[in-house]
Amino acid sequence: MEAREVYSVKVRAGKRTYIFDVRATRNRDYYITITETKRDFTGEVSQKQKIFLYKEDFVKFQRALDQVISHVRTDLLPDYDYERSSLEGDEESAG
């Protein structure tokens, strides 16, 4: 399956980078790849993980992600300042 990148958002989070790419197949079908890269102490990428998310699973994936994030935020760590921590040194970019 030959695919081309249509849209991309990069989130830098310390030594990790998360990349959300929308890709298109030759048949104009779309899917998302979610890539996590980790850098070692030299700044080189030492690990790379990738998830392929297909359109038929978008709603189920989003619901599950929202559910687990809500559980952590409200039940496990309700006093954590998520807004402050997300602003410290993180960069987001869309393309």
Q: Please state, in angstroms and rounded to a whole number, the distance separating the CA atoms of residues 92 and 11.
A: 5
Question: Which residue has better confidence, 86 or 10?
Answer: 10
- Whether 89 has a pLDDT exceeding 60, the answer reads no
Q: DSSP 3-state assignment of 38?
A: strand
| Domain residue spans of the chain | 3-94
Fold of 3-94: Nuclear Transport Factor 2; Chain: A, (3.10.450)
Is the entire prediction scored with pTM above 0.95?
A: no
Share above pLDDT 90 across residues of the chain, in percent, rounded to a whole number: 62
Task: Return the percentage of the chain with pLDDT > 70, whole number.
Answer: 88
User: How many C-beta neighbours within 10 Å does residue 31 have?
Assistant: 18
pLDDT in tens, 30-65: 999 999 999 888 878 888 999 999 999 999 999 999
